[in-house]
Amino acid sequence: MALSSDELERYARHIVLKEVGGPGQQKLKASRVLVIGAGGIGSPALLYLAAAGVGQLSVIDDDKVTLSNLQRQVIHATEDVGRAKTESAAAAIQRLNPHVKMQAIKARLTSKNALDLIGAHDVVVDGSDNFKTRYLVSDACFLAKRPLVTAALGTFDATLTTIRAHEKSANGKPNPTYRCLFPEPPPEGTIPTCEQAGILGALAGVMGSLAALEAIRAIVGFGTPLVGKLLMFDAREMRFETLNYVWNPENPLSGETPAIKDLSAHAN
């Protein structure tokens, strides 16, 4: 996919990188990335994916911008309060990079729309704020055979991993699923919400940027992805750690006797 003279100048700092170059930038332009949520993680992820030159960005979110969002959801501005987050995000992206085709989907991801939506994209970035959606997204990505970059925020801590459970690792075994990492969600009510516990705003910027970087690496094809690796960040100590995890043959999605073959279990 050819780059215009304006795009050549816009992405010049990418193009001089031997790991990206013209071919890598063309891959970015030809790619389609779906971002789940235009919140703390989705905001910086969307901005950096757009700035990087991803050809088509889609964002799904059914929420509206509130004043308390602005402490961390940097894609939105004060004048956007009360506006649909998807509309606000789309407007910001068009201001940043008019070469990006933006699809704003004001809706909630469900078992009815997940497979079609995810299947229409090359990479999925999950910035949702609840375990119910995370399991739905990860199961749908496996069934649709799409790579997933998923991040989660705590108060002063955060995690990031890439899941390519539809593929096999170098040893011939399947790559791990989200269910290999977290076999079951925590009991409802045991994890306080952002509203209840609070969150350090800049932490969302760190993890959203890392999620965008991981998606860019997947598209261009450089570096070693965080497959089977959970990147953990502690903002109190400014410390990164990596936890390795492997495929569990007993997991119900891609195990030796899979019980999950569709998204019916996620139906509301």
78 in Cβ contact with 70 (< 8 Å): yes
Would you call 165 helix, strand, or coil by DSSP?
Answer: coil
Q: Which of 127, 107, 101 is nearest to 32 (CA)?
A: 101
Distance, in Å, from the CA atom of 20 to the CA atom of 28, rounded to the nearest integer, reads 10
Distance, in Å, from the CA atom of 196 to the CA atom of 259, rounded to the nearest integer, reads 35
Write down the pLDDT at residue 74.
97
Strand locations in 62-128 (E): 101-106, 123-126
What is the value of pTM for the model shown?
A: 0.96
Give the residue carrying structure tokens 């509206």: 64
Distance, in Å, from the CA atom of 266 to the CA atom of 220, rounded to the nearest integer, reads 33
Could you tell me the two tokens for 268? Answer: 């509301």
φ and ψ of 61, to 5 deg? -165, 140
Which range has the worst mean pLDDT, 107-111, 112-116, 139-143, 263-267?
263-267
Query: What are the sequence ranges of the domains in the chain?
Result: 18-266
Write down the pLDDT at residue 195.
76
Write down the pLDDT at residue 187.
78
Could you tell me the two tokens for 254? Answer: 């891609």
Write down the pLDDT at residue 240.
98
Predicted confidence band at 262 (pLDDT cuts at 50, 70, 90)? Answer: very high
Which range has the worst mean pLDDT, 19-28, 42-51, 62-71, 182-191?
182-191
Distance, in Å, from the CA atom of 212 to the CA atom of 216, rounded to the nearest integer, reads 6
CATH fold of 18-266: Rossmann fold (3.40.50)
